[in-house]
A = this chain, B = another copy of it.
């Protein structure tokens, strides 16, 4: 592990919206999908810190410099009748990796899940991201390989909902 400065992980606040979006865009670039990241600062502020927060965020700093972030929301397990924590994004700046910052964020998320009585903690990984997959396997996480996720995009939702007919 590389030497690291003082690492701090804290809950993100409305004033962090611009910083959060900057980090979100950096992750999108890393995933080679920056064109799909169309959120604005205003939308980040409203959706995370407005009247109806849709997710929660953590920020990580090394010696007060932004180092990474996580965004998560609560899922639900029907069979347990308990919430789950779903980790949507976890990102550490490439030049700051290998210092244990990702693990510090992950550990903080586990504490949040534990404190909220979550029956599961889940996330998804791109199948080419081998370093991440190796880390998750070492941790004892189980791949849900028998499940295929399907998605309808916003335009399809509106069209089908208004048409009043599917299939």
Beta-carbon contact of A73 and B75 below 8 Å: yes
How would residues 25 to 62 of chain A score, 1 for a CB under 8 Å from any chain B CB and 0 otherwise? 00110000100111110011011100000110000000
A145 to chain B, nearest CB (A): 7
Question: In chain A between 67 and 87, which residues have their CB closer than 8 angstroms to a CB of chain B?
Answer: 71, 73-83, 86
Q: What is the interface size of chain A, counting residues whose CB is below 8 A from a CB of the partner?
A: 79
A165 at the interface (CB under 8 A from B): yes
Beta-carbon contact of A148 and B125 below 8 Å: yes
Beta-carbon contact of B124 and A147 below 8 Å: yes
Question: In chain A between 96 and 149, which residues have their CB closer than 8 angstroms to a CB of chain B?
Answer: 103, 106-107, 110-111, 113-114, 118-128, 133, 135-136, 138-149
Beta-carbon contact of B78 and A54 below 8 Å: no
